[in-house]
A and B are shown apart, each in its own frame.
Chain A
C-alpha cells in the first residue's frame, strides 16, 4: 500500500434540489496524506459536495466510497459491496448510505462549518471533551459506571482532558480553556473548531472555508496548523477555500467546480494555468461571447 493511495472516491455524484442541479455528475479522489482543495466561484456546489460526503445531504445519485484505515480496494470489491446492499464491509464504507453521525464515528470523517458552529455557551475545554463523546461514553458504561464514579471512567476522562489540553496548547488557547467558546475572537473560534474536529480522531478532515475572515498573519498560522495535522497526525484534509494564497500554498491537489460540474482536477500549478478555470473565475473574452451569440442567432 503506497502512502499516497486514494482512500476516498466520489463517483458520478449528483445532487438535485427540486429542479436545481447543485452538483452534476462529479467524480474525484482524495489520497491519504493529501491536502486537497475544492474551489470554484460562489454557488458552484462546493458546500453541497461537502454535505454529501459528510452525510448532511443524501446525494440524488452516485457513490462515495471511503477506506478510513487503508487504501480503497479494487473497483470489483467496491461494486460487490454496492450490490450487497450493506453500508460497510472489511473497512470499506459507502458514505452515501450512512447517516451523518455514523460517517463521523465509523468512517472517521470530521468536518467544520462555513459559519462556525461551536457550542457557544460551553467552554473551549468542554467543546473538545464533547468531541470525545464515543470513547468516554463507552468508558462510562453508558453512564452506569460513570454514575457510580468507577475509576476506569475517571481514568478515561483524565485522558480526554489531557488530549483536549494538548490541542488547546497547539492552537494557542490554553490560557482561555475555561472561557466560553462564544466569547473567543473570531480567529480563535475557527482554530478551536478545527481542534474540536481533530479530537474525534479522524482520518479525513473536511474544512469549509477555514481561512474566511482571517487576517494574513492568522492565515499563515492556519497553513502551519493544517500542515502539522497532515504531517504529524497523518490526517488527510479536504478543504473549501476562496483564499487562493492558502490553496496554492498548501494543497497537493485541487478540484475546481463551476455550476455544479467539475471543470478541472490536478496539481495546483496545473489547475492555475487551465483556461476553463480562468474563464470560470474571470469570465470569457468578449469575442467568444459574440461568437456564441451568433451561433444561437441572438
Chain B
C-alpha cells in the first residue's frame, strides 16, 4: 500500500516536472518591449509554479478517481425500467425541443429571444443534422472521413448559386443540393474507397481542403473570399418574412419582428434533422444498413458473403454526403451569405468530434454530443460573470476553445467510446439487448 502511494506521488511529481518544463519557455519567460522598444525579459516564476502545482494536484486527484466507466453490458440492471426511463426522457426531450422557440419567446421576449433561438436552437440543430449525416459514414460504415465539410459546402454553394443565377426557390434547391452533394460523394468515393484507415482519412481531408480552395480561387463563379450574399428568399408557404403589406407579420396581424423568420427556420431545420434521423434509423434495419455495419465489423468477411464492398461504401458516402448537402442548403438560407471561410477543416473536425463523442453509430448520443459541444461552446460566451472574480480584463471568450478541448479530453478519458458506447441490434428473435461497446469494432476505413 505504501509502495503504491509512493508511486502515485512520484507520478504526480513527474507530471509537475513536465508541466514545469513546458511552462518555463512559454509562461515563465516573457519578453516585454520597454519604452525604447527593446525587449526586456520579465520572468513570471509564480505563474510557472502555479502551473506545476496544478499539474501535481490534478495528477494526484486523478489517481484517486475511478478511471473509466465500467462497460455498460457488465453491469446487471433492470432493462425494462431503464427503457421506461429512456422513453420518458425522450418524450420530455422532444417536448422541450418542439416548444423551445415559444419557451424562449415567453421568457425573453421577441428581441431577447433572437440569440437563444439562433445560437442555441438553429445552430445546434445544424450540427445535430451534420452529426447524423456523418454518423452514417463514420459510425455505421466505419469509414473515417475528415473532409465532410466539403459536402456541406457543396450544398450551401449549390443553393447560393442556383438562387442567384436562376432565381430558384429554396424548396426546389434543397433536393438539388442534396443530389449534387451525393454526386460529389460518389465522385470522391470512386478513387478513394480502395484506401483504408489513415490513408482514407488523409485523402478525405485533402478533398475537403480542395473544395474550399476551389471556392476561394474560382472567383468568376463563386466570387472568391468575398462570398455570395442576398439570395435567400425563404417564404412561409408564399408569404415573405418582411415588413411589407403582404409580409408574414401583417398577414397574421402581428408586429413586425425578425423573430418569425427565425422561428420558421428553427422548425425547418428541426424537420430536416428529424427526417435525417428517421431515414437513418430505418436504413439501419434494411439490408443496406446491416451491410454498412457488417463492413465496419469485418470487410473481408463481407466480401466472402457476396457483398460488393465498393458499392456498400459508395452508398454510405453518398447518403452521408446527401444529408450534408441538405444541411448546407439550409445553412445558406439561414445566413443568406456563403463564403469559403465557413467551410474550414475545423468544421469537419467539429462534426467528427460530435460523432466520436456521442458514440459512433448512436443517433441519440450524437445529438447529445452536438448539444454539449456546440451548446457548451456557445454557453462559454455567456460567462461574463467570471469578470467579477478574475478582473475586468479577463475575457472568457478567449478561453472558449481551450475549455471545450479540455472538456473533450476529460470526456474521452472517462468514456473512451463516447456517450453511448453500446450498440442496439437491428433485429431480434426475443428481446433486443444492447451489445457492449467492447465487442463492437470501429472500422478501419
Contact B306 A177 (CB under 8 A): no
Cβ–Cβ contact A177 & B430, under 8 A: yes
Beta-carbon contacts of A91-107 to B below 8 Å, as 1s and 0s? 00000000011101100
| Contact with B439, one of A125, A126, A157, A182 (Cβ below 8 angstroms) | A182
- Given the complex, which residues of B lie within 8 Å of A143, measured CB to CB? 283, 286-288
- B279: Cβ under 8 A from any A Cβ: yes
| A119 close to chain B: CB less than 8 A | yes
Residues of chain B from 279 to 296 with CB closer than 8 A to chain A in the complex: 279, 282-283, 286-288, 290-291, 293-294
Residues 408-427 (chain B) with a chain A CB within 8 angstroms: 423, 425-427
CB distance from A54 to the nearest CB of B (A): 7
CB proximity to A under 8 Å, residues B294-313: 294, 297-298, 300-309
Is there an interface contact between A178 and B283, defined as CB atoms closer than 8 Å?
no
Q: State the CA gap A54–B294 with chains docked (Å).
A: 19
Within 8 A of B (CB), among A44-68: 54, 56
Q: Which of A104, A122, A197 contacts B425 (CB 8 A)?
A: A122
Q: Are A133 and B306 in contact (CB under 8 A)?
A: yes
Q: B435, A123: Cβ atoms under 8 Å? A: yes
Which of chain A's residues have a CB closer than 8 A to the CB of B290?
Answer: 122, 126, 129-130, 133
Task: Please tell me if the beta carbons of A121 and B304 are within 8 angstroms of each other in the complex.
Answer: no
Residue B441 CB within 8 A of the other chain: yes
B428 within 8 Å of A by Cβ? yes
With contacts A129-B290, A133-B290 taken as known, whether A200 is within 8 angstroms of B305 at the C-beta atoms is: yes
- In the complex, whether A183 has a CB less than 8 A from a CB of chain B is yes
Would you call A267 an interface residue if the criterion is a C-beta within 8 Å of the partner chain's C-beta atoms? Answer: no
A119 touches B427 (CB 8 A): no
State which of A131, A142, A165 has its C-beta within 8 Å of the C-beta of B429. Answer: A165
Find chain A residues with CB under 8 A from B103 CB: none
A257 at the interface (CB under 8 A from B): no
Is B303's CB under 8 angstroms from A178's CB?
no
Q: Does A212 contact B (CB under 8 A)?
A: no
**Which partner residue on chain B sits nearest A182 by CB separation?**
B439
In A175-191, which residues have CB < 8 Å from any B CB?
A: 177-180, 182-183
Instruction: List A contacts of B427 (CB < 8 A).
Output: 123, 125-126, 129, 157, 161
Contacts of B118-167 to chain A: CB distance below 8 A: none
Chain A residues with CB below 8 A from B431, complex form = 178
Q: Does A236 contact B (CB under 8 A)?
A: no
Binds B, one of A15-23, A110-118, A227-235, A258-266: A110-118
Residues of B within 8 A of A120 (CB): 297-298, 439-441
Q: Is A41 an interface residue (CB 8 A)?
A: no
A118-B298, A122-B293 known; A133+B307 contact, CB < 8 A: yes
Say how far A207's CB is from chain B's closest CB, in angstroms: 12
The answer to whether A123 touches B428, judged by C-beta atoms less than 8 angstroms apart, is yes
The CA of A174 and the CA of B27, in the complex, are separated in Å by 64
Judge whether A178 and B428 touch: CB under 8 Å.
Answer: yes
Cβ-defined partner of B432 (8 Å) among A165, A178, A182: A178
Q: B283–A117 contact, CB under 8 A? A: no
Q: Check if A147 is an interface residue, CB within 8 A of chain B.
A: yes
Q: Which of B291, B301, B308 has the most CB of A within 10 A?
A: B301
Q: Is A146 an interface residue, CB under 8 A from the partner? A: yes
A36 at the interface (CB under 8 A from B): no
Q: How many A-B residue pairs have CB under 8 A?
A: 133
A196 within 8 A of B: yes
Q: How large is the interface on A (under 10, 10 to 19, 20 to 34, 35 or more residues)?
A: 35 or more
A134 CA to B293 CA in the complex, in Å? Answer: 16
Residues of A within 8 A of B428 (CB): 123, 125, 177-178
Chain B residues near A118 (CB, 8 Å)? 298, 301
B287 touches A136 (CB 8 A): yes
Q: Would you call B240 an interface residue if the criterion is a C-beta within 8 Å of the partner chain's C-beta atoms? A: no
A137 within 8 A of B: yes
Q: With the chains together, A143 CA to B292 CA distance in Å?
A: 13
Contact B279–A147 (Cβ < 8 Å): yes
CA distance A143 to B433 in the complex (A): 25
* A124–B430 alpha-carbon span in the complex (Å): 12
Give complex CA distance A121, B282 in Å.
Answer: 19
Residues from chain B with Cβ under 8 Å of A203 in the complex: none
Give Cα A110 to B77, complex, Å. 40
Chain B residues within 8 Å of A223, by CB: none
List chain A residues, Cβ under 8 A from B227.
none
Q: A140 near B: Cβ within 8 Å?
A: yes
| B426 adjacent to A131 (CB under 8 Å) | no
Residue of A nearest to B425 (CB): A123
Contact between A178 and B425, CB atoms less than 8 A apart: yes
Contact A104-B301, Cβ < 8 Å, known A126-B427, A129-B427, A140-B287: no
Q: Is the CB of A104 within 8 A of B303?
A: yes
Decide if B436 is an interface residue (CB 8 Å cutoff).
yes
A24 to B427, CA, bound (A): 46
Q: How far is the CA of A143 from the CA of B287 in the complex (A)?
A: 8
Nearest A-chain residue to B426, judged by Cβ: A126
Is A101 touching B301 in the complex (CB atoms < 8 A)?
A: no
**Known A-B contacts A101-B308, A105-B306, A140-B288; A161 and B429 likewise in contact (beta carbons under 8 Å):** yes
**Complexed CA–CA distance, A174 and B429 (Å):** 9
Contacting residues, chain A, for B304 (C-beta < 8 A): 54, 56, 100, 104, 110-113, 117, 197
B335 to chain A, nearest CB (A): 31
A121 and B440 in contact, given A126-B426, A178-B431 (Cβ under 8 angstroms): yes
Cβ–Cβ contact B297 & A101, under 8 A: no
**Could you list 6 further interchain pairs (A-B, Cβ under 8 angstroms) beyond the known A56-B300, A130-B307, A177-B428?**
A104-B303, A121-B441, A122-B293, A126-B290, A126-B425, A197-B304
In the complex, 19 of the A-B residue pairs with CB atoms within 8 angstroms, ordered by the A residue number, are A104-B304, A104-B306, A117-B301, A118-B301, A119-B293, A121-B441, A122-B294, A123-B435, A125-B427, A130-B305, A134-B306, A136-B287, A142-B288, A143-B288, A146-B282, A147-B282, A157-B427, A178-B428, A180-B435
Minimum-distance CB pairs A-B, first 5: A121-B440, A105-B306, A104-B306, A119-B297, A117-B301
Chain B residues with a Cβ under 8 A of chain A: 279, 282-283, 286-288, 290-291, 293-294, 297-298, 300-309, 423, 425-433, 435-436, 439-441
Residues of chain A whose beta carbon lies under 8 Å from any beta carbon of chain B: 54, 56, 100-102, 104-105, 110-113, 117-123, 125-126, 129-131, 133-134, 136-137, 140, 142-143, 146-147, 157, 161, 165, 174, 177-180, 182-183, 196-197, 200
